[in-house]
Amino acid sequence: MTKSVDAYDVIVVGAGAAGLAAAAQLSRNGKSVCILEARDRVGGRILTVRPRGAAIPLELGAEFIHGESPCVFEQLRLAGDVAIDAAQTRHRAPQPGRLKQSEDLFETMKQRLQRIPKPRADLPFAEFLDKHRRQLSPTVRSFATMLVEGFDAADPMRASAIEILKEWGGGSAADAPTFRPQRGYGALMDSLAGSLDPAKACVQLDSIVNEIRWRRGEVNVSFTRHGEPGQVRASQAVVTLPLAVMQLPALAPGSVLFTPSLPRKQLPLSRLLMGPVVKLVLCFSRPFWAEIEDGKHRDVAFFHAQGAPFPTFWSTLPVRSPVLVAWSGGPKALHLVGRSTDEVLRPALQSIAEIFGKRRDYRRMLEGVYWHDWQSDPYSCGAYSYAGVGAGPARRQLARSVEQTLFFAGEALDEEESSSVGGALNTGQRAALELLQSS
Ligand SMILES: Cc1cc2nc3c(=O)[nH]c(=O)nc-3n(C[C@H](O)[C@H](O)[C@H](O)COP(=O)(O)OP(=O)(O)OC[C@H]3O[C@@H](n4cnc5c(N)ncnc54)[C@H](O)[C@@H]3O)c2cc1C
C-alpha cells in the first residue's frame, strides 16, 4: 500500500519572520499553505523569553528595530503593539580612573571616510583601513573595526569594503534611531502566526526538511518528524532557510538537498557570509551601573570596553531594570561559541569588571543568565549575514526565483535591510507577491 502525500498550493520552508510573512500573505490570497519548521516553535532567530519574575521580555535573538523599518512598524500595528524609542544612546567607555563619555566617533569616522576615494575594486575592509592609515587615525581605525565586528558581526579580513562603505555612506542602521517592540519580538511573531487562516495554512513544527525535489510546477519536500520520514507536495515553494544552512555542502549533516541542484545559486552563496554573535542577557539583583559614581551613569544606555572579550554592554533604557546585555560579535565571538554557560559567563563578568571596576562581586549580584548559542544551532549556524569581498549583486541573485516554482526569502536576501527582522519580513512579503503574480 502506498502512503498518500498531502498536497498544497505552496510549501513554505521555515517559520521565522520571512516564512511567516510569506505564509500570511499567501493564505490571505487564497493559497493553501503548509509551513515546515524544524524547531518546536515559530520565530527562528527571534527568541523572546519571559522568566518568572522578569518585568520585561528578554530577547536572546533580535531585539532592536533599526530605523523606521516600515515592515516592522506595520506588523507592530497589526499586533496592537507599540515601539519603545530606545534613543537614549549615551555611551560610556572606561578611561583611566573613571567611566567617561565616549566621543561621537561615528560622525568623525564618516567624515574622514568621505574624504577617501571609493575603492574601484573590492577588497577586505581591514586592507582598506590599512591602505588609508595616513588619512585615518588609529582611533578612527579601531572604532571602524569595532563597528564592523560588533554591529555587522563581520570579520574585517573578509568583509567587503565596498559594501561597508555603502552602508555607512547612506542612512546606516548603525546610527539610525533604534526602537524595541514593547511586548518583545516574540509577541510579534506569535501575532503573525496567529493571523494565518487555519482553513488555509498549517504550521507543522518539529519537521526537519532534508530534500526539496522539484520540477517546473511541482515540488516534493521530504522531512523528518520525531524520527519518522514525511513528505508533502505543492505546485510551488518559498524557501526561507538561513544563509548558513543553504551554504552547507550537499550531504553534510543538516544540509537540505535540492534535486535537481541550483547551480546559479552557488556563486552568490559563496559571496555572502554568516556572522557569529554571542549575546548574554544578565539579570542582576540591582542595576549597580546606575548607582556607581553617585548615579552619574543612570541614563547611559551603552558601555564599551574595546579590548575585552565582550566589548559592548547595554541596559534596557528607557525602561529601567536590573538587566544588562553583553554582546560580542565577529571574530571575538568565535572564541565563545560552543561553550557552556559558565565558560561564556566568566569572560562576560571579566569584561564588566574592566568597565565598572574590579571591587564589586558581580557574580554574587547575578540572579540569572539567559542566552542561545546561535552558531552551534543547526537551524541557524550563525547570527546574521554580511557581504564578503566581491558580493555585489549576490543578495539579489539569491532572491531570484527559479522556474516560477522555487521562491526565496530571508534576511540575507534583502538589499535594503539585510541582517535584520525588517529585511526578513520584506523578503517574505516580496517572495509571496512574486509567487502570486506568477500563478
Ligand atoms: C543574537 C542575535 C541578535 C540579533 N539582533 C537583531 C536586532 O537587534 N534587530 C534585528 O532587526 N535583527 C537582529 N538579528 C537578526 C534577526 O534575528 C534575523 O535577521 C531574522 O530574525 C531572520 O529571519 P529569517 O526568517 O530570515 O530567518 P530565521 O529566523 O532563521 O528563519 C528560518 C527558519 O528556518 C528554519 N529551518 C532551518 N533549517 C531548517 C530545516 N532543515 N527544515 C525546516 N526548517 C528549517 C529555522 O528553524 C528558522 O525558524 C539578530 C540575530 C541574532 C542571532
Q: What is the pLDDT of residues 95-105, one digit of tens each?
A: 655 666 666 77
Going from the Cα of 7 to the center of ligand 1, the distance in angstroms, rounded, reads: 27
Cα-trace Rg, the chain: 22
Mean pLDDT score of the chain: 93
Name the β-bridge partners of 201.
33
Our mutation pick for probing the ligand 1 site, out of 302, 328, 384, counting the most ligand atoms within 8 A of Cβ, is 384
At 391, phi and psi to the nearest 5? -65, -40
When pLDDT is cut at 50, 70 and 90, the band that residue 110 belongs to is: confident
**Is the CB of 391 inside a 6 Å radius of any atom of ligand 1?**
no
Going from the Cα of 47 to the center of ligand 1, the distance in angstroms, rounded, reads: 9
**Is the CB of 63 inside a 6 Å radius of any atom of ligand 1?**
yes
Going from the Cα of 26 to the center of ligand 1, the distance in angstroms, rounded, reads: 20
Q: What is the pLDDT of residues 40-83, one digit of tens each?
A: 999 999 999 999 888 899 999 999 998 889 999 999 999 999 99
**Is the CB of 14 inside a 6 Å radius of any atom of ligand 1?**
yes
Q: Is residue 390 predicted with pLDDT exceeding 90?
A: yes
**Predicted pLDDT at 425:** 98
Q: Which residue has the higher pLDDT, 162 or 86?
A: 162
Q: What is the pLDDT of residues 203-238, one digit of tens each?
A: 999 999 999 999 999 999 999 999 999 999 999 999
Q: Is residue 21 predicted with pLDDT exceeding 60?
A: yes
**Is the CB of 419 inside a 6 Å radius of any atom of ligand 1?**
yes
At 334, phi and psi to the nearest 5? -60, -25
**Is the CB of 152 inside a 6 Å radius of any atom of ligand 1?**
no
The whole-angstrom separation of Cα 430 and Cα 408 is 9
**Predicted pLDDT at 87:** 67
Beta pairing, strands 83-85 & 406-408? unpaired
3-state secondary structure 93-128: EEECCEEEECCCHHHHHHHHHHCCCCCCCCCEHHHH
**Predicted pLDDT at 295:** 86
**Is the CB of 16 inside a 6 Å radius of any atom of ligand 1?**
yes
The whole-angstrom separation of Cα 169 and Cα 436 is 35
Contacts of 363 (CB under 8 A, 6+ apart): 349
**Predicted pLDDT at 30:** 96
- The dihedral region occupied by 198, where left means phi > 0, alpha psi between -120 and 50, and beta the remainder, is alpha
* CA-CA-CA-CA dihedral for 223, 195, 281, 54, to nearest 10: -130
Contacts of 72 (CB under 8 A, 6+ apart): 65, 181, 188, 421, 422, 425
The whole-angstrom separation of Cα 152 and Cα 159 is 9
Q: Are 330 and 275 in contact (CB under 8 A)?
A: yes
Interval 277-292 mean pLDDT: 95
**Is the CB of 61 inside a 6 Å radius of any atom of ligand 1?**
yes
**Is the CB of 12 inside a 6 Å radius of any atom of ligand 1?**
no
**Predicted pLDDT at 101:** 65
At 138, phi and psi to the nearest 5? -55, -35
**Predicted pLDDT at 93:** 67
**Predicted pLDDT at 362:** 96
**Predicted pLDDT at 404:** 98
Going from the Cα of 374 to the center of ligand 1, the distance in angstroms, rounded, reads: 9
Which three cell numbers mark 149? 565586528
**Is the CB of 277 inside a 6 Å radius of any atom of ligand 1?**
yes
- DSSP labels for 333-386? HHTTTT--HHHHHHHHHHHHHHHH-SSS-HHHHEEEEE---TTT-TTTSSSEEE
Going from the Cα of 106 to the center of ligand 1, the distance in angstroms, rounded, reads: 28
Q: Which helix (H) or strand (E) holds 265?
A: helix 263-271
Q: Which helix (H) or strand (E) holds 232?
A: strand 228-239
Q: Is residue 288 predicted with pLDDT exceeding 80?
A: yes
**Is the CB of 420 inside a 6 Å radius of any atom of ligand 1?**
yes
Percent of the chain clearing pLDDT 90 (strictly above): 82
Q: Is residue 180 predicted with pLDDT exceeding 60?
A: yes
Q: Which helix (H) or strand (E) holds 215?
A: strand 207-215
**Is the CB of 37 inside a 6 Å radius of any atom of ligand 1?**
yes
**Predicted pLDDT at 108:** 86
Interval 348-376 mean pLDDT: 95
Interval 341-360 mean pLDDT: 95
Domains and CATH numbers, the chain: 6-45+186-274+384-438 (3.50.50.60), 102-175 (no CATH)
Q: Which residue has the higher pLDDT, 116 or 87?
A: 116
